[in-house]
Chains A and B, each alone.
Chain A
Amino acid sequence: MNDLFVYTLRLGDDALIAAQRTAEWIAAAPQLEEDVALGNIGLDQLGQARTLLQYAGQVEGAGRSEDDLAYFRDERDFLNVQLCELPNGDFAQSIARLLYFATYQHLLYEELRGCADETLAGVAGKAVKEVAYHVDHATQWVLRLGDGTEESHRRMQAGLDTMWPYTAELFTSDALVERLEVAVDPSTLHDEWERRVTQVIDESTCARPTSSYQHSGGREGRHTEHFGFLLAELQHVARSHPGASW
């Protein structure tokens, strides 16, 4: 398979699956204001996914549209990191994921906007402002929940700890990113990511998560047991009524 296709698919799948999980909060967030905030964030992620998947389809050259890629691939064909597909858990757990993921995306897009591929650079240039706000939103909540009540602190700590073992996968380098000129080697982002994330965690009075075991496999299409259910919900309508339009 074409390296650029696979690389674009990785970025697009991360954004698409993150958007699907974020959207699950709409009408279920702790406040109406947060429903709207998370709705905005989910739509930002979906917008990134659409452009990236559309581009992946073009690069592949097999005539697949963004919809074909989103709705008619099976679990093993998705290349998103497992962090994005994990269930939302409680609000604190979702916010922990948003902090980890958005901080990664921010560093990634900052690098990618200077790359030689015009489309990828364009997507990154637009998205970098969006994800900067996602980082800010997650940060505000981590600080308030971590340094809030005894119960909110306990939940924030649990959320940070639960998501932490899925973060190493974000920074795993492989032969493809080394070969592909325009790709950002994610391992180069790790130190700055850790610095930014631990700064927020420290300020929130939570403890830095420690974990020796780190999950992996998403980039090769190996996913958690939760992923099939997510895809079922995402793809059900499109597959039941193929070719239907609004």
Chain B
Amino acid sequence: MEQKQETLLEIHDLSVSFRMYGEGLSQKDLQVISNLHLRIRPGEIVAVAGSSGSGKSLLASAILGILPSNATVKGHVHFRGQELTPQMQRELRGKEIALVPQSVAYLDPLMRVGRQVDGASKPRPTQQRRRLFRRLELPERTENLYPFQLSGGMARRVLVSTALLTEASLIIADEPTPGMSLEQALEALKMFREMADGGKSVLLITHDIDLAFEFADRVAVFYAGTTVEIAPVEDFRAGPEALRHPYSQALWRALPQNGFVPIDGFQPYAGSLPQGCLFAPRCPHATEQCHRQTPPIREVRGGEVRCFYGA
């Protein structure tokens, strides 16, 4: 129980599947997240990196309880030591747990930006919101614009501001920085860092992993719907030798500043996951055991890795 108290959010063995129609009326379950583990402590930024379609955004939806109705969730999510039930999720979201959504299409296209960030119940523009807009370099007139009049980067900053205005103790930021200039992205991340230093927690889902390396405490790497490595951020700054999983190493090497070299192959599709280790078909070190057995998650050098050989 000791450990539960210093953990804000604990995800244990989480699986998410979708019920889909196949031929005619036959249905099948498509598993998109499997055996996922993650723990977030108060005051911590955990960056979630990984391939597109590895279930990062679905994890956010699963925590908030906003998955579509054909989804089935198994496993455990604890918030402040309590099992997160659908009713709790309804009460907590937007208050205790806030989301910065991935798509700028989440903005109401028919409402002026200032009004939708303030909240429809507030009749006047709030000072707090105006201060935040200034800090995010959104010009004063932005509040009177409609979403279609914003540039991509401006719309992102508006989305970020909605979450920063809440009193939430956990912010789930799903790709908050694309379209922002480097300076603006750094400013937004700095604000998340300040919130974390003030005791709040941030789950930062991002592809700008080089930026995440500057601000996060730990990095969780997702592949094909599961966690393959969770490592202290220093290991990612240090480079591939300090990393435990071959996929994390491949991510590092594909960065434009580190070689721009992609590994061959593609992430397996949810309907046709390979047996054994999900990364084995693309792994340069895969052995026969990897193709047969799913590796368990192991603790290695202060991090966790789902690989038989990660060291």
Genuine A/B complex: no
A binding-site residues for B, Cβ under 8 Å: none
